[in-house]
Amino acid sequence: MNPLISVVIPCYNDGAFLPETIAKLQLQTEKSFEIIIVNDGSTDEKTLAVLKQFETQENIKVLHKENGRMSAARNYGVQHATGKYIAALDADDYFDPSFFDKAIKVLEKEPSTAVVTSYIKYFGNKTGNSKPRGGNAFNFLFSNQCPACAMVRKDIWDQVGGYDESMKLGYEDWEFYIRITQLNLEVHVIPEYLLYYRQTDKSTLKNHTHPNRAGIIEYILEKHKDWYMHCLTKLIDDKQVIYTESRIAYATIWKLLKNRLTGKYK
C-alpha cells in the first residue's frame, strides 16, 4: 500500500544536519509517509557516510545523482515518489510534529488548495520569524509568499512540470508557485509556526539569490510576461493601482514593473 505522503529531501553536503531532520520527521503524528533523500552530488565524506547509513533504514530511499542544484534534485525525488502528497523539505530544516496531520486536513477539505505551508520560525545563524501570506496568483505577483518547504498535491506538481531546472540560483520556488496559482489554485498558510528554517553560512539565498536577484527576476518576468500583463490589466481595471501620470501605456507599466522588481529604483 502506497504511503499518503512522500517527503522529498535534496541533500548536498548537509550530513551534519540530516540526522536531526530525519529524527524530527519520525515524530510526525501522521505516520503514513516515505522519505526520499536525493544526494545531489555530495562530495563531503561525512555526508556520504550518513547517506550510506540511511540506505539500510526502512521507509527511506536514498537516490544518487550528479549535482544539478535544488530544482533538479527536487524533481528527481518526486519522479520516484509514490505518495498522494509531496512534502518538500530541505536537509537542514524540519516541521512541527503536527504539520503533516494539519496540512492533510486542509487539502482534504479545500479542493482549490494545491499547497499548504505555515508560518516560519528561523534558527541557527539568524533568529526571528516570518508570516507568508500564501493565497492566489495576485499575492505572488511581486514577491514569493510561500517557502519551498511545503506540502503539494502530487498530481498538481506533475501537471505544472515541477521546478524549472534552469533556475539554479534561487527563487525557483517562487516561479513554481506562480505556475500553480495560474491554474486558479491557492496556497494555504496555516497560521501557526510549524516550519523551522535553519540559517547557515552556505545559504543559497545569501550566497546566490541576493547577489543575482535582478537577473533572476528578469527571467521570471520574461517567462511569465503575458500573465503579468493580464494581472496588471485586471488590477488597473479594478482601480487598485494609483496613477502617478494621467496616462500610462502598457509599455511604460512593464518598464516600471521591471525596474521596481530588479531594484533599479526603490
Full DSSP string of 133-176: --BSGGGGSSS--S-SSEEEEHHHHHHHTSS-TT--SS-HHHHH
Please tell me the predicted confidence (pLDDT) of residue 132. 94
Provide the grid cell at 214.
535582478
Q: Closest Cα to residue 9, out of 57, 50, 60?
A: 60
pLDDT for residue 257:
65
Label residue 152 exposed, middle or buried (CB < 10 Å: 0-12, 13-18, 19+).
Answer: buried
**Using an 8 Å Cβ cutoff, are 187 and 177 in contact?**
yes
pLDDT by residue for the chain (266 residues), tens only, comes to 789 999 999 999 998 999 999 999 999 999 999 999 999 999 999 999 999 999 989 889 999 999 889 999 999 999 999 999 999 999 999 999 999 999 999 999 999 999 999 999 999 888 899 999 999 988 898 889 999 999 999 999 999 999 999 998 888 999 999 999 999 999 999 999 999 998 776 665 555 566 778 888 889 999 999 998 888 887 776 654 444 444 445 555 666 666 656 555 44
Percent of the chain past pLDDT 90, that is, above it, reads 66
Q: Domain 5-202 adopts which CATH fold?
A: Spore Coat Polysaccharide Biosynthesis Protein SpsA; Chain A (3.90.550)
**This prediction's pTM:** 0.86
For the chain, the structural domain boundaries read 5-202, 224-261
Compute the distance between CA of residue 24 and CA of residue 57 in angstroms, rounded to an integer: 15
Distances in whole angstroms, Cα of residue 33 to Cα of each of 73, 76, 137, 180, 225: 19, 18, 29, 23, 38
Please state, in angstroms and rounded to a whole number, the distance separating the CA atoms of residues 50 and 45. 9
- SS3 at position 52: helix
| Residue-level pLDDT at 195 | 98
Q: Where are the alpha helices (DSSP H) in 55-205?
A: 69-79, 99-109, 154-160, 172-181, 204
Q: What is the reported pLDDT for 251?
A: 59
Q: Specify the residue for cell string 509514490.
A: 82
Q: Which pLDDT score, from 0 to 100, does residue 242 have?
A: 45
Q: How far apart are the first and last CA of the chain?
A: 54
Task: Give the pLDDT score at 252.
Answer: 59
Predicted pLDDT of residue 114: 98
**What is the β-pairing status of strands 94-95 and 150-153?**
unpaired
